[in-house]
A and B are shown apart, each in its own frame.
Chain A
Amino acid sequence: MPVAEKLRGSSVERPILPRLPRPVRLTGYALVLAFGLLYALPFVLQVVTSFKTDPDAASRPLSLIPSPWTPGAYHQLFGAAGGDGVPFSRWLGNSTLVAVLVTAGRVLFNSMAGYALARLRFRGRGMLTALVIGVMAVPPVVLLIPKFLVLNTFGIFDTYAAMVFPLLVDAAGIFIMKQFFESVPREVEEAARIDGAGIVRIFWSVVLPMARPALITLTILSFQGSWNEFTHFLVSTQSSEFETLTTGLARVVSGGLGKGTQYPLKLTAALLSTIPVAVLFFCFQRYFVRGANSGSVKE
């Protein structure tokens, strides 16, 4: 439910201005519906086309009923042959592996760093905070060649390590956690400290459990971010065995522009790669909303 309604407690509010006349309202609804279709229709067409045959998809791109109906694209993607240079199962495996590792790493390391920057007093804290804020301004696409240089120099180019390590911490996530920990009343920690708890204990058993909403936000954003990540995998790997859903799909789609179209196959691969994030989105939408608004953090 919308945030405002929760905050105000009552969802039944009278409009401030008088209602518009009926014809205007109906036109408004029609317009809004058209807008909604504009946003939903591409996905609907994607789902429908994934069940079409190639000729059907090419000749009737707008029809909402596949004829004939065929799960061929799905068979092809999960088939033993790996389907026409589309080793979908491998992409899926790689994406899952990397996303899980990156998410776990980010949740742990971002909260540790966020806690230290918010609460622990140590020399260099101000400098590090400034560094994190500064780093947030560096656009990822600027780092394409630089990242490759470093990974190559370290000798880990084209490995899982190269895919995972650089993503294990992200500045935006640190910021979310830092802001959360700053909102925790100090008395809670003081009380635990008087009871004899040390810093690690306070962090792990007292503060972190309180951070559940922030941690869920962080988990979801990290998973979404690493699942949808493209540029980093593009410059950290070159072998097909490390292809993820994004790099694999991008290669097939951009390379196949002039050749046979095979849109049902490509759209099915795109659809399947969208589903995990879509499921997360529909279950935890308010955390995505929070993420969208925290993306605008500037200090």
Chain B
Amino acid sequence: MTADVIERPPKRRAPRSPEPGTRNLRRGEGLWGWLFVSPMVTVLGLFLLLPILMAAWVSLLDWDGQSNPFTADARFVGLDNYRNLLTEDGLDRTLFATSLRNNLYYVLLTVPLQTALALTLAIVVNQRLLRGRGLLRTTFFFPSVTSSIAVSTVFLFLFQGSGAINRMLSWIGVQGPNWFADSRGVLRVLLSGLGLVDSVAPGAAAPGEGFMGLAWSEWLAGPSVAMSTLIVLAVWTTSGTFMLIFLAALQDIPRELEEAAALDGVNRRQMLFHVILPALRPVLFLVLTLGLISTWQVFDQVYVMGQGEPGNTTLTPAFLSYTSGFEDADYGQGAAIAFILLAIVLVLTAFQRWALRERGPRTEVRRAGR
């Protein structure tokens, strides 16, 4: 059959007018086109689309994972799982709100820090006169390519109570916390250090005061000390990748532009703020949104470094979804959390794609494709 299809088009094409020949060619292309994409369609269909549909169904069930979810053994509960998470008072909602709070702080700190650091590193590595910049670039990028589990292991070692980080802190007279066991909110620790808040003990959650079953004092406590280590890890591992994206953009800035600015007598500050940064605007936006999207998905590091502990302060929606299903055997609840998370990420992605389109997708695609 293969030979048949290969032979046919030129034979027909030669004697007749080009039209039927082309049509014939197209018919062959149609068949081969679908054959070529069939592995893709199978895998993406079976392991991406179908799971999403099944999970949408399961998120409407009270299902423990033991029975067949398509029989009456699994009780249909409608939107109850979502209600328990979003509107109804209870442990489920408080836990979910806690995970949102934790992830929100994680995003708020990680994204600006990793972007700023990546931009700084890119500008440093882009200095034409800097010696050893190739080596530096390699050094900065290396953490990005290693396994998240392996680097999390290293960070567990570095941040232990009597570990390397606390030894270093002791050189400057600071007694480091017991990082992974410390559930105190960083903001609260700072404020109490300044004498603005009475104690570092979390306020009792008075009923009715707060949002989604979580007291305001909890919402405002900031990321816990344990969560801060995850933030440091995230910034450290991702800045290399984003540095490369910035670096490609920096090297795309026409040299004439900088030379013209130099002739006008600008200094370094002005060059940075009035020439380089404006030219980087689309890429800056790209990096910020990529960061926003990926930080909402933090899971591996939580699994290794916190497992939600201490005091649920490293719990994130992704991890809560996992434990609801695989540990508490409440797959309906877990699937519902996954869908809420999906909604968050899709909204951010849609926003990113829309905004990048507005600001000239052409240059973006060209740059990215290199």
Contact = CB atoms under 8 A, between A and B. Distances in A.
B297 A2 contact: no
A56 B312 CA distance: 32
Nearest to A32: B124
A141 interface: yes
Interface in B171-219: 180
A2 B133 contact: yes
A290 B46 contact: no
Given A148-B325, A149-B58, A270-B149, A138 B48 contact: yes
B158 A45 contact: yes
A-side binding surface: helix, strand, loop or mixed? helix
Given A39-B142, A43-B142, A143 B368 contact: no
A231 B69 CA distance: 23
B353 A298 contact: yes
A46 B338 CA distance: 35
Interface in A198-238: 198-201, 203, 224, 227-228, 230-231, 234-235
Interface in A48-87: 49, 57-59, 61-62
Contacts of A16: 255, 258-259, 262, 271
Most buried by A among B137, B154, B163: B154
B134 to A, nearest CB: 7
B142 A4 contact: no
A17 B272 CA distance: 12
B148 A228 contact: yes
B-side binding surface: helix, strand, loop or mixed? helix
Interface stretch (B22-30, B88-96, B105-113): B22-30
* Size range of the chain B interface in the assembly: 35 or more
A296 B368 CA distance: 6
Nearest to B146: A274
Given A117-B37, A169-B43, A277 B146 contact: yes
Most buried by A among B26, B40, B48, B168: B40
Contacts of A4: 126, 251
Interface string B236-265: 100011001101100100010011001000
Interface in A120-169: 120-125, 128, 131-132, 135, 137-150, 152-153, 165-166, 168-169
A98 interface: no
B43 A109 contact: yes
Nearest to A49: B157
A17 B29 contact: no
B341 interface: yes
A104 interface: no
Contact of A249 (B128, B153, B286): B153
B356 to A, nearest CB: 6
A293 B36 contact: no
Q: Which 9 A-B pairs have the closest CB atoms?
A: A198-B6, A122-B33, A146-B51, A146-B55, A116-B36, A166-B47, A4-B251, A120-B33, A113-B40
9 contacts: A3-B248, A15-B129, A39-B140, A39-B240, A145-B322, A149-B331, A199-B32, A224-B145, A267-B154
